[in-house]
Homo-oligomer: A and B are copies of this chain.
Amino acid sequence: MDRYMVISSDCHAGLPPEKYRDYLEPKYREAFDVALPIQIAATQEAARKFLVDEINEEWRSGREDLLSGAWDHDKRIEVLDNDGIAGEVIFPDGITEMNMPPFGAGLSLPTEEIVPELQWAGARAHNRWLAELCQMAPERRAGVAIIPILWDLDEAVKEARWAKVNGLKSVMLPVRWGKFAGYDHPKYDPFWAVCEELELVVNFHSGPAPMEDYGDGQGMVGIYISEVAWYLVRPLTFMLWGGVFERFPKLRVAITEGTAVWVPEYLKLLDFRYEDTPYSAKLGDYTSHMSLKPSEYFARNVLVGASCMPRREAEMRKEIGVENIAWGSDYPHPEGTWPETASAMRETFLDVPKEELTMMLGTNAAHWYGFETDKLAAVADRIGPKQADFE
């Protein structure tokens, strides 16, 4: 094959909000009808703080039809084919601020100002629809189920099993946990156990940050985009020190759309803290439950969903770990590479050795999310970017 098999580790899909109604359990539909206009207004208001209307409208102008791939099967196939992408990992929140699941069950999974039972209902509605979407092209789509784990651990375990049975490949947990226990806490062990058993990737996706800290001054956006990746990585910090990967050595975690540049310095810091230093000596024993260094767990248990990779990250690939990087396009979000993925990829990856690029563009994600590579290769052979273009 003279083409790369590309899997985007970060794509998004979601229904127009009113269409989620049919996927909700009937008993929640009355609440849905009341909440829908409020949710639409609130989402647009929140988005206005961050998304400048003119810029987004200009970017979307003329692309409305192609953006409907956010929910339409045929259109999505066409769009991804044209972008050279054979397979994809699918998160919620399709077109930004337009396709969020009901009752605050989208990427941000807030812990306040929501009704837990309804957030669960919204998550399940999305998961049901997503399973259908993925079943239309199972060789090309790895769906990520939304799991509002904080409210009800038993339900979370049940939903993970439901996701597996229904063909989804991964489970997304809230990045922020409010007043609940952090992910170091052993109470989450039953959930890690089921994910390990069923080979479901535990996903965290960028987005949440403490907006309540950011005010509404000139600094707000800059602060948010400087901090948001740190909040994304925070669950991993808690899991590493909590010994989760010691107890669940085959658990796989993916950290998506938070750049990859943080990895080398992060691992140096954690390893430094793990080792015996004057700083740590006074603190007594806080590592005997961990037989490996943080960087060793990372290498074994963590994948970075590297959306919209800049050249610099490709240059840092060995420090980050070539096996731990999975490129992503972020379709249909405006910060993504679509519809100019081909040129963006070339800019980022020119001269990267074929074997390494093969991993970062596709086989890492294939291995992680359980794609059947023989089937996917047939697609890639038709639409994938030519290897010669990167030489």
Q: Is A132 an interface residue (CB 8 A)?
A: no
Residue contact B242 to A286, C-beta cutoff 8 Å: no
Complex: A222 Cα to B243 Cα, angstroms: 10
Q: Is A269 an interface residue (CB 8 A)?
A: yes
Which one of B184, B213, B217, B261 lies within 8 Å of A186 (CB-CB)?
A: B217
Complex: A163 Cα to B389 Cα, angstroms: 65
Complex: A108 Cα to B220 Cα, angstroms: 25
Stretch at the interface among A34-42, A76-84, A223-231, A380-388: A223-231
Say how far A12's CB is from chain B's closest CB, in angstroms: 14
Say how far A295's CB is from chain B's closest CB, in angstroms: 13
Residue contact A237 to B261, C-beta cutoff 8 Å: no
Say how far A167's CB is from chain B's closest CB, in angstroms: 32
Complex: A240 Cα to B238 Cα, angstroms: 28
Q: Which B residues are in CB contact (< 8 Å) with A287?
A: 222
Residue contact B278 to A185, C-beta cutoff 8 Å: no
Complex: A273 Cα to B225 Cα, angstroms: 7
Q: Is A193 an interface residue (CB 8 A)?
A: no
Residue contact B268 to A265, C-beta cutoff 8 Å: no
Which one of B226, B278, B282 lies within 8 Å of A237 (CB-CB)?
A: B226
Residues from 250 to 279 in A contacting B, C-beta threshold 8 Å: 259, 261-262, 265, 268-270, 272-274, 278-279
Complex: A215 Cα to B182 Cα, angstroms: 8
Say how far A61's CB is from chain B's closest CB, in angstroms: 14
Complex: A52 Cα to B286 Cα, angstroms: 11
With known contacts A282-B51, A284-B55, A241–B265 Cβ distance under 8 A: no
Complex: A156 Cα to B77 Cα, angstroms: 61
Complex: A237 Cα to B229 Cα, angstroms: 14
Q: Which B residues are in CB contact (< 8 Å) with A378?
A: none
Complex: A280 Cα to B225 Cα, angstroms: 9
Residue contact A283 to B221, C-beta cutoff 8 Å: yes
- Interchain residue pairs with CB less than 8 A apart (21): A50-B283, A55-B284, A184-B215, A184-B218, A186-B217, A217-B242, A218-B242, A219-B241, A220-B286, A221-B241, A221-B284, A223-B241, A225-B273, A226-B237, A226-B269, A226-B270, A226-B273, A261-B268, A278-B334, A282-B334, A282-B335
**Residue positions of A touching B, CB distance < 8 A:** 50-52, 55-56, 59, 181-182, 184-186, 213-215, 217-223, 225-227, 229-230, 234, 237-238, 240-243, 259, 261-262, 265, 268-270, 272-274, 278-287, 289, 308, 310, 334-337
